Amino acid sequence: MKNNLFHCVCATIEGKLGDIRHNTDCIVNEIRSCIDRKIDILTFPEMSLTGYSCGDILYNQRLTAQIHIAAEQIAKSTEGSSIFVVVGAPIRNNGKLMNCAIVFHGGSILGIVPKVQLDNINENDSRHFVAPSFTDDSVIHLCGQAVRCSPRLLFEDPTHGLKIGIVIGNDADNSISVANLLSHRGANLIINPSAAKETVSHYEEIDLLTKSASLQNKCIYMYAASGKTESTTDQVYSGYLAIFENGNCIRKTAPLEITQRICGTVDPEHIHQARAKSCAFDPIVSFADSDFPAALICLQPHGTYQSISCEPFLADLPADTVCRRILELQSQALQKKLQYTNRNKLIIGISGGLDSTVALLACCHAFRKAAIPLENIIGVTMPGPGTSERTHRNALALMKELGITAMEIDINAAVSAHLDNIQHPKALFDITYEQTQSRERTKILMDLANQQNGIVIGTGDLSEIALGWMSYSGDQISMYGINSGIPKTVMRHLGCFLAEHADGNLQSVLRDIMETPVSPELLPLKNDGTQKQETEALVGPYVVHDFFLYYFVKYGYDPEKILRLAGCAFQGVYNSQQLSSWMQLFLKRFFTRQFKRSCFPDGCQVFDMSLSPRNGWRMPSDVFAETFLEI
């Protein structure tokens, strides 16, 4: 009896963005290793030859020339073997780029499969690539071969009952997916090279999608997503690898697990039996040209909002789960940034408040994982005219307990001198007075980064970025904004989570920081030494603004609808007049402070929405808010 079992591997590589020679060597080494281990089918992620997040360098013709050389080397590495290999790469055809999977087998290129459904929301697919229709079929000359290029390509081994179809990225999960079409044409193994970005809730989504695709299509499903070597300018990539067989998990990675490969054994006979017993693959009548008559109806909706979470960013996950995943995402992103910049020192301003505390603890977590001494983190507390004794004490204690390098630089004299230079009255505590302190602190941090050959870590969070609650060219600027994807309400959960898992004096310090009111500390203190400025007393509760932000940016809801949702979520806590007032403030600040986001530094996206001007919210700085203020 012939053997119909296939050993399959989904693999990522220790790649370098844009370095095709290095990436080719990694791919060839993996192929040779798989051949030695008698692997039958091997797939790499989407755009694995160049890296998915290369951006506009994909247009450069040098990359096109090197891809031809790389394809020849990869094809040669499969000579004398029966291994079937799928490698993602950009391919130029008739002067246009396509996002493709190149198929190698037996020393040659069997075919090229282009991506059909391009993502124009988060990934910039349609900026760089053109998409053929599902019926397109052409020939591309590659490595001296005339290679067929079509999304309908199937690769069949009739002796062993295997027919392979390939789908790229979201070609697999749209409402009418290429995976469905290929399965109905006999494909019983679907290979899905992808480049999915990671967020707090992404693992559950992609795990469900891959399992569902395998079950719905009654097929073997191999999924390989780009991993940690992609750019972390604004996003972390998942590195999720999975092999499913008719909905049953053969192998998969755990959430945020850094694994270079998974291996599983699959049996196409299981698929044949499942399809034989199912009506899902019976012939269906073509309805492409059919008419779909519609009968008119008139309904009067009586639905009411049931339970609406006042913290939608948690995505119905336990807060502890969200916090653990955020720390891992921040850690992966920061380690990549240090590796790329060839730096092992960080400079971070420590105020004794929530944001800088969480940022510092995330940096410490990343350094421990990367085995970098914590002394290489340089924390700088810079007391000024508005610094309270409580936050100053906590800043010093926090740095001491963590064992980082601590510095204290008093900025009172520098602020006073600067105000003298611009002839600003010392007793006029206006916006000029406030911004002077913020910019003085940023200048010090940037100078120290030059002096110490390190990078400045920004501490501002997503809520502050949305409201523009930051000094332009002050705390708005950094070399990496580690908190920039985390809203204030989740920052509080994160701070409490870190305090709960701390010991001794560190726990006491963290708990006191969590109880300290949020304040920029930019105005002189009251006579009793407490703050004049409490941010939420000025702009409203962050939990409400985060609610507005989530539904306005992620779903594009009308402000009136968001207020109805908020009325349900905050029933008995805030009244409609309060919510409406805060909505007006949110919209005015969100629109008028876009200019601060347009030049915002790199930062790690951790939720399924972002305000990055590169891969998130894109809006000119001079869009008027009036249309949205009519509530």
- For residue 43, what pLDDT band results from cuts at 50, 70 and 90? very high
Per-domain residue ranges for the chain? 6-276, 312-629
What is the per-residue pLDDT across 375-425, written as a single tens digit (0 to 9) for each? 999 999 999 988 999 999 999 999 999 999 999 999 999 999 999 999 999
What is the per-residue pLDDT across 52-89, written as a single tens digit (0 to 9) for each? 988 888 888 888 789 999 999 999 999 999 999 999 99
- For residue 287, what pLDDT band results from cuts at 50, 70 and 90? very low
- Res. 31: pLDDT tops 50: yes
CB 229 within 8 A of CB 214: no
Burial 509-525 (b: 16+ CB within 10 A, else e): bbebbeebebbbbbbeb
Which class does domain 6-276 fall in? alpha beta
| CA gap 506, 584 in Å, rounded | 40
β 236-237/197-198 pair status: antiparallel
Locate 416 and state its tokens: 């006073």
The SS3 assignment for 100 reads: strand
Average pLDDT on 111-126 reads: 79
Distances (CA, A) of 117 to 54, 170, 406, 472: 19, 7, 51, 39
Locate 202 and state its tokens: 């992404």
- Res. 306: pLDDT tops 80: no
| CA gap 571, 542 in Å, rounded | 16
Average pLDDT on 565-569 reads: 95
What is the per-residue pLDDT across 309-352, written as a single tens digit (0 to 9) for each? 999 999 788 999 999 999 999 999 999 999 989 999 999 999 99
CB 581 within 8 A of CB 544: no
Q: Is 3.40.50.1100 the CATH number for 312-629?
A: no
- Res. 289: pLDDT tops 60: no
Distances (CA, A) of 310 to 41, 149, 545, 607: 47, 50, 10, 16
* Strand spans (E) along 195-314: 197-198, 220-225, 236-237, 241-245, 248-252, 261-266
pTM of the complete model: 0.87
- Res. 1: pLDDT tops 80: no
Choose from 36-40, 129-133, 199-203, 233-237 the range with maximum mean pLDDT: 36-40
Choose from 268-272, 528-532, 545-549, 625-629 the range with maximum mean pLDDT: 545-549
- Res. 130: pLDDT tops 90: no
pLDDT at 280: 67
| CA gap 476, 484 in Å, rounded | 10
Average pLDDT on 294-322 reads: 84
CB 112 within 8 A of CB 100: yes
What percent of the chain shows pLDDT beyond 70?
96
- Res. 460: pLDDT tops 90: yes
Average pLDDT on 196-214 reads: 89
One fold for 6-276 and 312-629: no
What is the per-residue pLDDT across 143-176, written as a single tens digit (0 to 9) for each? 888 999 999 999 999 999 999 999 998 877 777 7
Burial 306-323 (b: 16+ CB within 10 A, else e): eebebbbbbbeeeeebbb
Phi, psi dihedral angles at 89 (to 5 degrees):
-160, 150
| CA gap 112, 155 in Å, rounded | 11
